[in-house]
Every structure is written in C-alpha cells, then in structure tokens.
Amino acid sequence: MNARIACVFATLVGLAIAACSSSASVQGSTSSKQQVAASKPRYEVVDVGTLDGGETKAYGINNKGQVVGESGGYAFLYSPGIGIKRVDFSPRWPNYLRRAVAINDSETIVGDSSSHEMFLGSVASGFHVLQRVYGEIGGDRINQAGEVATTVRVNGRWTAGVIHADGSLGSVMPTDSRGHAINDFGWITGETRKSSDSLFWGVSGRFQAFIYRPDAGMADIDIPGCNASTGYAINATGEVTGSCASDMEAPMRAFVYRPDKGAIVLPLLSGYRASRGLSINDKGEVVGELFVPIETEHRAQGPHPFLYSNDIGMVDINELIPVDSGWELVNANGINNAGQIVGWGRVGGTTHGFLLVRKQN
C-alpha cells in the first residue's frame, strides 16, 4: 500500500515557501523517522515503584491513571499521588494474588493468583477466586460494568465466555475458543479454533480472531494475507487489535480492524520481524510490542514497545520520551483514553513498570 507524504508549507514574513512532495512505500519494514509526523506526542516517564525491591511489570490502566501489575511475585495497585501498594485477600490465604492484569474506573481488578486461578474484586469490597476459569495477560480484559472476558471450562471443554462482576457465568461462545477482551457493550474479541491439522505459534490448530456481540453472535475477523489470527483488545466502537500470520513459518504481525474499513496489517519498524497489538483506546490508538529481533551489524535489537495511530503511523515509543530519561522501554501493554500508556522497561539495570503521561504540545 502506498502512502503519500503531503507537501509541507511554511510561511515566513508573509511569503509562502512550498516544499516538494514525495511518495514512499510503507509495505513491510519502514523506519520510524519516515512515519513520525511533526505533531508526534511526547511523554513523561513515571516509575510506578516496587514492592520490596522486586522486579515490576505494569499490565493495565484505567481512565483515572491507576495502574495494576506485578512486583516481586505479588499483585499491586499504583495510584497517582499515592504510589504503589500490594493488593491481596483479606485475611490473606495461603493462596495469594500473584498478578493484577486489568482495572476499570470503579477500581475493580482482575488477575491471577498463586494457584493460577483468576481473581476478581476490589480493595474496598475484597477479592474472590473464579473457578474453572483460565486467562492470559490482557489490560483490556475488564469493562466498566466489571464484566470479564476470559476462557471457561464448560462440560469438559474450554470456551470463551463472560464472567459478571459477582462471579457468575454470563454468555458462552462456541467451544474451542478463547476470550481476551471486552468493551462496555459486552462485545468480546479473542480467537476460535478453525482446524486442528496444523501448528501455529506452537499450538495445535489454526485460530481465527473474532468479534462476539450479544445481539449478533460471533463473527470472524478477516485479515488480508493472514491465515491465523487472534484479537487481544477491543474498544467502544468495536475496533480490534491483535496479531496474525500468513502461515506456520511466518512471524506474527500486529493488525487493526475497524468495522467500517476492515482489517489492515500494521507496518514494521526497521530491525524487527514481528509485532502484536495489545491494547486500543476509544480514539483508535494502539500500543503493543515489536520483537523477534534481527541480528544487525552491531547488535541484536531487543523488544521495544510501539504506538500506532492514523495520524502518526507506527512509532517506537522510546523515541517519544526524553533522551536523558535513563529508560529503555521494552513493552507497552495498555493505553487509556487520555493516551496514558503502561508497560515495563529497564532503568538502572533493573526491570520497572512505567506510566507514560502525555505532555501537552
């Protein structure tokens, strides 16, 4: 697909000076320098802190800027102006809360426990374990009503489903499917198994990304050039991001699906062979990770987070923070409607979770 770089006009002392226009291909790998517009956002990096000096990773964020994740093997909640604190059962059980992955604006938190069962609840009302439920990391797993998209075991089979805020089971999809994210209308995205005669990403079977709507049922997301896919996040308008691949040997690529335009595979940045989209806000801004590094002349590039939007294209988020911050950002797992981003990176030789706060241009 061709993208045209529009003519740039500057006015000086009443005289307009026109610059030449040019076109460039963005199919496949492109440099972030070519894609970043003059209006690219800038971010302040906030270290969310640590519990007892342990390694910290931030997974989810709500629209109030509260962050959840894990630190030193325990679930945490970070609140601006308050800082980081451990969240757990009260009184504490032998089974403890290991990782918090998502939080809504009512401060309902979902995550997993030391027994690898999902938990749901809040600091104010307490937490409870969800039986027969399996979930992967996903910052968009819970909606504002406290409903959780997950995978439940029904009649001996795993299937995508919805858990209500009280822990009861809601809608259930066809078997051999997984639920990864839910929006405020109860629409779900995830993956459903289409066949079992092939191997994709180390898993037997070919999976297809889907959208489930309570009023319309389940529908596949068709992505040009991809034969396997999964949806990781969905916003209020039904836009989805995730990853896809053309065949068993191909690396996965991030995609964006928009109901009125269909799906596109996102371009890569120079030095990377793979990507996946992990979160999308209501403005259609996507964050995720670039990985599967390519050996370069000097070194192998490690995984980096990306920000994608229609306005700026694909950008390495490390280019959007101060050059003297001391951070190398590694992953971006969540973005809220204010454009705040959470993930983790390396600073001072250790892994810390971060909150990126967008500066006013």
Segment (H or E) for 58: strand 56-61
Give CA angle at 61 (241, 263), nearest 5°: 10
For the purposes of burial, counting CB atoms within 10 Å of the CB of 346, is it exposed (0-12), middle (13-18) or buried (19 or more)?
middle
pLDDT at 197 over 60: no
Cβ-count burial 266-292 (b if 16+ within 10 Å, e if not): bbbbebbebbbbbbbbebbbbbbbbbe
Q: Are 191 and 230 in contact (CB under 8 A)?
A: yes
pLDDT at 185 over 70: yes
Indicate the pLDDT class of residue 59, thresholds 50, 70 and 90: very high
Task: Show the domains of the chain with their CATH numbers.
Answer: 30-358 (2.130.10.150)
Residues ≥6 apart with Cβ < 8 Å to 82: none
As a whole number of Å, the CA-based R_g of the chain is 21
Which amino acid does the sequence have at 280? I
pLDDT at 11 over 70: no
Mean pLDDT across the chain: 84
**What's residue 151's pLDDT?**
85
- Per-residue pLDDT tens digits for 102-161: 999 999 999 988 888 888 999 999 998 886 676 555 557 899 999 999 888 777 778 888
As a 3-state breakdown, the chain gives helix, strand, coil percent values, each rounded to 5, of 0, 55, 40
- Per-residue pLDDT tens digits for 155-180: 777 888 898 888 888 888 877 888 99
Partners of 44 in beta bridges: 357
How far apart CA 32 and CA 158 sit, in angstroms, is 40
Indicate the pLDDT class of residue 322, thresholds 50, 70 and 90: very high
pLDDT at 281 over 60: yes
Residues 54-81, mean pLDDT to the nearest whole number: 96
Q: Record the pTM.
A: 0.85
